[in-house]
Amino acid sequence: MKVLVINGPNINLLGIREKSIYGSESYEDLCNLVAEEASKRNISVTIVQSNIEGELINFIHGAYDSYDGIIINPGAYTHYSYAIYDALKAVMIPTIEVHISNIHARDEFRSKSVTAPAAVGIISGFGLKGYVLALEAMLHIKQK
């Protein structure tokens, strides 16, 4: 199984930004965790990040016919990027949306995800472990 993990804006600043919300672990820590946990589950994983909406869309497009699943943390694009939603719908790859914080317990505008309807499910509020849960969910989806 091949999974593409896409991280959106500001995820590269983990460990620096708002530690009370996102914790003190770095982006490198996140990438290492995902790679290690994917390896344990016999999942081939590619991890990418961009602060640019169009690059995230290009990553999604590039996944077509190359990946079995997508795990995406669209960052703030979650709340207004219909272009990312359209890209996810277009490639028809099972997608899981992940958020490090509980988006429903924060600012009101963060509780609405316009990208979520393109996903099989959402994991929110479990810190970096949410990515591990998403890997497990990918295995579950593949077994169906």
Which residues does the annotation mark as catalytic? Answer: 22, 99
Other C-beta atoms lying within 10 Å of the C-beta of residue 115: 25
96 beta partners:
71, 121
3-state secondary structure at position 47: strand
Find out whether 71 and 56 touch, Cβ atoms under 8 Å: no
Which residues are within 8 A (CB) of 144 and not within 5 positions of it... i.e. 6 or more apart? none
Burial class (CB in 10 A: 0-12, 13-18, 19+), 40: exposed
- Angle (CA) 7 78 18, round 5°: 65
